[in-house]
């Protein structure tokens, strides 16, 4: 494969895609959905080979589970794809419009970004999800999946491109980079002339690799060291429910809770109850010095080790620290948060307002679980990624976040004075 | 100077600045404006030393002019600064608000980016402009000016920081990096933990340097290879006016015209008139093979050399090419434009619509000069930079473009099901 030729073909296809009607894009998505439904056996067989190779290679069972497809999961992926066709088309929306005193009509109109590269690990659902969101938002897409799911991804991509052949969307709009050499990724990351945005989806190492090597704008994110501060006025029973949900509902994801900060004035009452509740759920607490005064150490109640408050656990582990009050809680979050999702549990409106103002994370919560930081849960209808950087988009990114705007200015042979 | 300590101090100051009221920020801007007015002699004396050194070093007169301040220019800079205090404050605006079926109140609220680094060359007005826009939008600012204006910049910064001491804005919000070593810039560009955005303001080399070396998001732009396509239905006399304005009103800036594309069906009538008009204005035409059939070569009418259609002239030079029609004009622009400002001159509405749809530049014009791509000219009231990349902001950037948003989510101890 010649990278330049491949990227140029995607750029060219994306120009056609960018100006298609909503109906044409939706028809293409639905055509591909039908094709992927028919290709179920082919995809599941390819996936079985990937899974067998992963097991042979000694991959951890949790990871193997993430790359495994079955009939039910495959149907859910296709159902999500069809749902994207039902979402509103962001392209062509007039964001601002005014007439200047010199008679110029000035509009800002939403347009696709152009070509987006997504670099991801495991999870074959990403291939289909990204395809749907990219096409719906009018963007060409370069996919670079992990080698663990190569057979699955190639089967999916082959069917997507075959499906597109009967639609208005050029098949070259969707390109999969199957060269196993990492140098090809390095070469991609320098082609700012042909790619407009890079979205890494994977661990911290992948994000760091993209940040360090890309000359193309990168959306980094998806790494969440998430906090909840239990203020002295918080309802204890309900706070325990929120912490239980944020920690245990799906511990392996980025919006799961990592650290609980407890106001010292309620520590004596709150910590023993927290310990009971977490022990029941199989959660190991990692407690600071002050909290140790209120709890008995055990296999599920350990002293926090160096760095434990800077860990994204992704497991049934939870840091616990006692703070003197709101200011110390905010200071801890400012030092240790990755800017993903942080919240306060309180009955004190003034404290809630100060927390929301001073904690500069993508999502700031009052009396709610951090688990809601997700495109679907926050009403965007879908999710491409979660940004923890400040530029362009913050928090969940869906269709609108895959667009930019252009200024369209119309005059009567108007000149500048 | 220890870079880490300096950047940390700015980060800390920016947290205070981020939550100040509009009145507090405006008062600080006006206090600094008064202080800079009083410091006129000090600043002009420092500038005279910079200018003398530049002349001694053999700097080109046009460049020397760009770094020279006099009483009138200094007053204009201060007047622009006062104007920023009058602009609406973008911070705190609720961009979106809704209540989800589960009772969560979800808002997206505009907040400052945090800390912005601006790396610039010559032009001491940038120091004051950037200060005003950064403070008004609640952002800490790291300034790295060119060594040609170091004395001027240090005098300005000293007075800004002294002025801020009596205001609510911490003086450390504004930091100037005066270490002449370029390694310090390289070190800065890696501190994504302490800087949220890098804006280069200068030539293509500076932009490329930032793109290649920054781990912080960079807004690239300010390089404009700008086109006007004269369609067959265009009013010839008025088109000549627009081209004259776009080329000659201020040839040294990025939105000045670089290439005229002429529909072949009107070339016989249009080119001779263009040649007369441009010759009168002292503009040298660089014409393609086909145009040579209609024009006599002369010192001001030359055959285009290799690469002339990929040059940002920044001078009284203009590329001229004949195209078969709209499609070839668009294809030329897609190949040669930097995505800054491109326009069509036409009486044909259908062609205008196709042009606006297919030309993917930050600003697309119908029957107007490209010179309007500018924050003030397009109604933003100010300008920090012009972006030619797709992410975050496109075209002129002013106060809103120096902000991001956070999600603020309030529940009643709400958990995810």
How much is the ipTM here?
Answer: 0.95
Token pair recorded at residue B125 = 């007005």
Is A181 in CB contact (< 8 Å) with chain B?
Answer: no
CATH number for B226-372: choose from 3.40.190.10, 3.40.309.10, 3.40.1360.10, 3.50.30.30: 3.40.309.10
Q: What is the model's pTM?
A: 0.95
Token pair recorded at residue B255 = 């939105």
pLDDT surpasses 90 at B26 = yes
Q: Which residues 138-157 of chain A have a CB within 8 Å of chain B?
A: none
How confident is the model over B48-62, as a mean pLDDT?
Answer: 94
- Which pLDDT score is estimated for B70? 96
Res. B63 pLDDT band, cuts 50 70 90: confident
Q: Do A97 and A106 contact (CB within 8 A), yes or no?
A: yes
SS3 of chain B: the string is CCHHHHHHHHHHHHHHHHCCCHHHHHHHHHHHHHHHHHCHHHHHHHHHHHHHHHHHCCCCHHHHHHHCCCHHHHHHHHHHHHHHHHCCCCCCCEEEEEECCCCCEEEEEEEECCEEEEEECCCCHHHHHHHHHHHHCCCEEEEECCHHHHHHHHHHHHHHHHHHCCCCCCHHHEEECCCCCCHHHHHHCCCCCCCCEEEEECCHHHHHHHHHHCCCCECCECCCCEEEEECCCCCHHHHHHHHHHHHHCCCCCCCCEEEEEEEHHHHHHHHHHHHHHHHHCCCEEEECCCHHHCCCCECCEEECCCCHHHCCCCCCEEEEEEECCHHHHHHHHHHHCCCCEEEEECCCHHHHHHHHHHCCCCEEEEEECHHHCCCCCCCCCCCCEEECCCCCCCEEECCHHHEEEEEEEEEEEECCC
Determine which of A238, A247, A389, A406 to mutate to test the interface with B (most B C-beta atoms within 10 Å). A406
Q: Which residue of A has its CA nearest to B218?
A: A217
- Does B404 contact A415 at a Cβ distance shorter than 8 Å? no
Residues of A in contact with B352 (CB under 8 A): 410
Residues of chain A with CATH 3.40.309.10: 226-372
Name residue B397's beta-bridge partners: B385
**Which residue's structure tokens are 């290679």?**
A57
pLDDT, tens digit, for every residue of B209-247?
Answer: 999 999 999 999 888 999 999 999 999 999 999 999 999
Contacts of B313 (CB under 8 A, 6+ apart): B251, B256, B258, B319
Annotation: CATH topology of A3-220+389-410: Aldehyde Dehydrogenase; Chain A, domain 1 (3.40.605)
List the single residue in B360, B406, B415 with the smallest CB-CB distance to A242: B415
- Which pLDDT score is estimated for B243? 98
pLDDT, tens digit, for every residue of A27-49?
Answer: 999 999 999 999 999 999 999 99
Would you tell me how many other CB atoms lie within 10 Å of the CB of residue A22? Answer: 15
- Does A211 contact B196 at a Cβ distance shorter than 8 Å? no
Q: Which residue of A has its CA nearest to B113?
A: A390
pLDDT in tens, chain A (417 residues): 699 999 999 999 999 999 999 999 999 999 999 999 999 999 999 999 999 999 999 998 888 988 999 999 999 999 999 999 999 999 999 999 999 999 999 999 999 999 999 999 878 899 999 999 999 999 999 999 989 999 999 999 999 999 999 999 999 999 999 988 889 999 999 999 999 999 999 888 999 999 999 999 999 988 899 999 999 999 999 999 999 999 999 998 899 999 999 999 999 999 999 999 999 999 999 999 999 999 999 999 999 999 999 999 999 999 999 999 999 999 999 999 999 999 999 999 999 999 999 999 999 999 999 999 999 899 898 899 999 999 999 999 999 999 999 999 999 999 999
Q: How far is B119 from chain A (nearest CA, A)?
A: 18
Res. B202 pLDDT band, cuts 50 70 90: confident
Determine which of A244, A383, A409, A417 to mutate to test the interface with B (most B C-beta atoms within 10 Å). A409
CA-wise closest residue to A397 among A118, A69, A157? A118
Is B198 in CB contact (< 8 Å) with chain A?
Answer: no
- Does B192 contact A211 at a Cβ distance shorter than 8 Å? yes
Residues of B in contact with A356 (CB under 8 A): 408
- Which pLDDT score is estimated for B62? 81
Would you tell me how many other CB atoms lie within 10 Å of the CB of residue B34? Answer: 12
Is B334 in CB contact (< 8 Å) with chain A?
Answer: yes
- Which pLDDT score is estimated for A268? 97
Is B197 in CB contact (< 8 Å) with chain A?
Answer: yes
Contacts of B105 (CB under 8 A, 6+ apart): B97, B98, B99, B409, B410, B411
List the single residue in A192, A249, A413 with the smallest CB-CB distance to B211: A192
- Does A378 contact B411 at a Cβ distance shorter than 8 Å? no
- Which pLDDT score is estimated for A6? 95
- Which pLDDT score is estimated for A287? 98
Residues of chain A with CATH 3.40.605.10: 3-220+389-410
Dist. CA B355–CA B375, nearest whole Å: 23
- Which pLDDT score is estimated for A39? 98
List the single residue in B357, B408, B415 with the smallest CB-CB distance to A369: B415
């Amino acid at each position: 494969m010649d990278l330049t030729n491949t990227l140029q073909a995607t750029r060219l296809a994306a120009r056609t895609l960018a100006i298609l009607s909503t109906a044409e894009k939706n028809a293409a998505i639905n055509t591909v959905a039908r094709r992927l439904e028919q290709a179920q056996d082919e995809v599941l067989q390819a996936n079985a080979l990937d899974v067998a190779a992963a097991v042979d290679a000694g991959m951890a069972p949790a990871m193997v589970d993430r790359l495994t497809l079955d009939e039910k999961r495959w149907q859910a992926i296709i159902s999500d794809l069809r749902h994207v066709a039902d979402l509103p088309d962001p392209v062509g929306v007039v964001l601002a419009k005014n007439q200047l005193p010199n008679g110029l009509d000035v509009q800002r109109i939403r347009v696709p970004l152009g070509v987006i590269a997504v670099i991801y690990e495991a999870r074959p659902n990403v291939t289909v999800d990204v395809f749907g969101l990219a096409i719906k938002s009018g963007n060409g897409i370069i996919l670079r999946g992990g080698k663990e799911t190569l057979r699955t991804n190639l089967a999916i991509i082959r069917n997507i491109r075959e499906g597109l052949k009967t639609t208005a969307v050029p098949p070259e709009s969707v390109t999969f980079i199957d060269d196993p050499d990492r140098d090809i990724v390095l070469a991609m990351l320098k082609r700012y002339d042909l790619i407009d945005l890079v979205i890494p989806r994977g661990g911290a190492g992948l994000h760091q690799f993209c940040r360090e090597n890309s000359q193309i704008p990168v959306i980094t994110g998806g790494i969440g060291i998430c906090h909840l501060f239990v203020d002295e006025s918080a309802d204890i029973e309900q706070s325990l429910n929120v912490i239980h949900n944020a920690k245990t509902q799906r511990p392996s994801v980025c919006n799961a809770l990592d650290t609980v900060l407890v106001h010292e004035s309620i520590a004596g009452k709150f910590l023993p109850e927290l310990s009971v509740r977490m022990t029941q759920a199989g959660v190991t607490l990692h407690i600071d010095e002050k909290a140790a005064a209120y709890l008995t150490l055990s296999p599920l109640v350990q002293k926090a080790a160096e760095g434990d408050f800077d860990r994204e656990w992704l497991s049934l582990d939870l840091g616990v620290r006692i703070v003197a009050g709101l200011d110390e809680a905010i200071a801890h979050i400012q030092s240790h948060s990755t800017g993903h999702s942080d919240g306060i549990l309180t009955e004190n409106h003034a404290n809630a307002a100060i927390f929301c103002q001073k904690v500069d994370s993508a999502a700031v919560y009052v009396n709610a679980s951090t688990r809601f930081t997700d495109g679907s849960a926050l009403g965007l209808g879908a999710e491409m990624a979660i940004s923890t950087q400040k530029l362009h988009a913050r928090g969940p990114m869906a269709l609108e976040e895959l667009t930019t705007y252009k200024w369209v200015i119309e005059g009567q042979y108007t000149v500048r004075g």
